[in-house]
């Protein structure tokens, strides 16, 4: 898994209003990178930069996902190389409040520059990912 450069997220968010978009409750789910009922960011592991994040949007998430998400590691070319084995959110990637290994929530604070604030490059535990 040393070639992993990004995490791709497909999370079925239960309550969009649990996010603050530019400081306001996002009850309509107008969040960037929403596709249908999913939130689909791709995050660079080394920097916490969200790919294709529109400039000027700030987002604080506390999205309840539970067992309704899929997560992949991508290589430098954006090719999927591994799929998260668990049903819960991989917390050491996506839950800044918990810091544990799994969670029911995606809790991130994303700045207007598309960087996740206080991002720490997560350790990829190969045994928790299934090669694809």
Tell me if residue 127 falls in helix, strand or coil: helix
pLDDT value, residue 78: 98
Residue 132 pLDDT exceeds 90: yes
Residues linked to residue 71 through DSSP beta bridges, in sequence order? 9
What percentage of the chain exceeds 70 in pLDDT?
99
pLDDT tens digits, one per residue of 22-48: 999 999 999 999 999 999 999 999 999
What pTM did the predictor assign?
0.95
Give the pLDDT band (50/70/90) at residue 8.
Answer: very high
**Are 100 and 78 contacting, i.e. CB atoms less than 8 angstroms apart?**
no
User: Which one, of 61, 72, 75, lies nearest residue 107 by Cα?
Assistant: 61
Pull the structure tokens for residue 125: 């535990």
Give the pLDDT band (50/70/90) at residue 65.
Answer: very high
Average per-residue pLDDT for the chain = 94
């Amino acid at each position: 898994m040393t070639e992993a450069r990004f995490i791709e997220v497909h999370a079925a968010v239960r309550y969009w209003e649990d996010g603050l978009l530019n400081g306001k409750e996002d009850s309509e789910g107008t969040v960037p990178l929403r596709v249908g009922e999913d939130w689909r960011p791709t995050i660079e592991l080394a920097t916490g930069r969200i790919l294709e994040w529109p400039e000027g949007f700030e987002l604080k998430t506390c999205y309840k996902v539970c067992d309704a998400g899929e997560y992949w590691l991508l290589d430098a070319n954006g090719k999927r190389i591994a799929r998260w084995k668990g049903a819960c959110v991989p917390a050491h990637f996506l839950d800044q409040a918990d810091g544990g290994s799994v969670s029911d929530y995606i809790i991130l604070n994303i700045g207007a520059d598309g960087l996740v604030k206080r991002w720490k490059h997560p350790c990829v535990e190969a045994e928790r990912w299934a090669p694809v």
